[in-house]
Amino acid sequence: MLKKYFIAIVPSDSLLSEIEDIKKYISKKYQSHGALQSPAHITLHMPFSYEKEDKLLTCIESFKFKSPFNIDLNGFDCFEPRVVFINVAKNDSLFLLQKELVQHIKKNLGIFNQSDDLKGFHPHITIAFRDLKKQTFYKVWEEYKTLYFSSLFSCNDIAVFKKENRDWKIYKRFSFTS
């Protein structure tokens, strides 16, 4: 049976909690709940369906990235008129990780990453999207466009998310080798 997955970086626990609080605030104030369907993350490989879970996990486990690196979150930004997010500062290691991971999965499992074909890789952490109506988007964006947000965390692993009912759950994490 086909199951849905995606692969992402999850911020450290304390930062994850802080971002989840922002998402809950937006959900309550603006009735936009879509971002609550998964823990805060930076998507590396967009959602895909796959039948052989053991083969998928073995493939990802065989992926080796050089070493941990820091990720700098800096301010808020948007994809007008539906998405508000925390900006990820340009990071060569992050772009290399994404590129190598996508190539590894494509080569070993034949799974194509949509972001390669659409707009490319634009790392971010979504705080409001999908069910955010246009007029509400502008209200959220007006509130967040000038707010300060800055944080740095170490990326030590990647996570496989699995869809369970309507929500995405962290299914398994894979640490980088040193």
Residue 164 sits in a domain of what CATH number?
3.90.1140.10
Distance CA 118, CA 131 (A): 21
Q: Are 52 and 95 in contact (CB under 8 A)?
A: no
Bridge partners, 160 (sequence order): 7, 172
- Total structural domains within the chain: 1
Judged against a pLDDT cut of 60, whether residue 115 lies above it is answered with no
Give percent above pLDDT 90 in the chain.
Answer: 89
Residue 150 to residue 60: CA distance in whole angstroms: 30
Q: Which domain holds residue 35?
A: 3-175
CA distance 120 to 118: 6
**Model pLDDT for residues 45-92, shown as the tens digit of each residue:** 999 999 999 999 999 999 988 889 999 999 999 999 999 999 999 999
Region 131-159: mean pLDDT is 96
**Mean pLDDT lowest among 72-81, 112-121, 164-173:** 112-121
Indicate if the pLDDT at residue 117 is higher than 60: no
Give burial (CB, 10 Å; 0-12/13-18/19+) of 132.
buried
Tell which wins on pLDDT, 88 or 130: 88
